[in-house]
Amino acid sequence: MRITLLGTGTSHGVPTLDCMITDYATCPVKVCRKAQDNPRHRRTRASILVQSGEAHILIDTSQDFRHQMLINRITHIDAVLYTHGHADHIYGLPDIRSYCRRQNDSISIYGLEETLRILDGAFDYVFHPTEYVGGGIPTLTPYLLDDGCQMNGLTIEAIPVVHGPLMGCQGYRLNDVAYIPDVKHIPPESLARLRNLDLLILNCLRLRPHQGHLSLEESLDYAHRIAPQRCLFTHLAHDIDYEVETRRLPDWIEFAYDGQSVEVP
């Protein structure tokens, strides 16, 4: 199985528009300025691609979906798993139309009932098309996934997590790889489903606490409690300077970066 980290940034991306507007003067640790010269500091919105054999499974269609597909030359998508309905995780959906047309087939999408309802409302023209289709629309088949399923030889488990008080959110376990990009609290029953992982990809927003995301200290605590063979921190804001903060990490944890590819036996 190969995991490609298509995007590793928070909803603002890095560099942020806020910092660019002020000539990077407002960047708390100058990561946005560093991003001009060091591509590892440039972070598009969070998403991954899982390749297992011939299967290509995408998790979330970020706002940077088109850019991510072009940069990584992704030629095929079999299915999309959605973690939740926030804009930075869903608003690349319309560009799936190119894959539907190329593959001459509908693409299956999976998520919580709430997430599917948000997608239906945000993209009414996709799920309830009229006769006029303009430049084309994706053909998608939605499926409820709040537990688990088998897909292309992978055992997929939904991992419920707490991201915000008013929104359902889940990560996913695919065989012995888990991806949890947006989380503030992992319930005990979900922690129990994250044992014996080869790879954990986990939210680590910034250094300071946040009401809906893990801070670095909280991410480290969960990583030690889950104890995977390897851990990558993702969904990083411009508060995280990997060149500085890496010294705080044990050798089995690292900050992920856009375009990173990881092989899992």
CATH number at residue 242: 3.60.15.10
Please tell me the predicted confidence (pLDDT) of residue 130: 85
Q: Which of 165, 1, 171 is nearest to 82 (CA)?
A: 171
If one counts every other C-beta atom within 10 angstroms of the C-beta of residue 256, the result is 25
Q: How many folded domains does the chain comprise?
A: 1
Full pLDDT tens readout for the chain, 265 residues: 999 999 999 999 999 999 999 999 999 999 999 999 999 999 999 999 999 998 999 999 999 999 999 999 999 999 999 999 999 999 999 999 999 999 999 999 999 999 999 999 999 999 998 877 677 899 999 999 999 999 988 999 999 999 987 689 999 999 999 999 999 999 999 999 999 999 999 999 999 999 999 999 999 999 999 999 999 999 999 999 999 999 999 999 999 999 999 999 8
pLDDT at 109: 98
pLDDT value at position 167? 80
Domain that holds residue 169: 2-263
Among candidate residues 196, 174, 164, the one with its CA nearest the CA of residue 89 = 164
Length of the chain equals 265
Instruction: Please give the angle made by the CA atoms of 86, 218 and 224, to the nearest 5 degrees.
Output: 115
Report if pTM > 0.95.
Answer: yes
pLDDT of residue 70: 98
Are the CB atoms for 79 and 110 separated by under 8 Å? yes
Residue 100: closest CA among 110, 92, 90, 108: 108
Nearest to 239, CA basis, from 194, 209, 265: 209
Q: Which pLDDT value is given to residue 227?
A: 98
Distance CA 113, CA 29 (A): 39
DSSP strand pairing (47-52 vs 2-7): antiparallel
Instruction: Note the pLDDT of residue 194.
Output: 98
Q: How many CA atoms lie within 13 A of 231 on its CB side?
A: 26
pLDDT score, position 230: 98
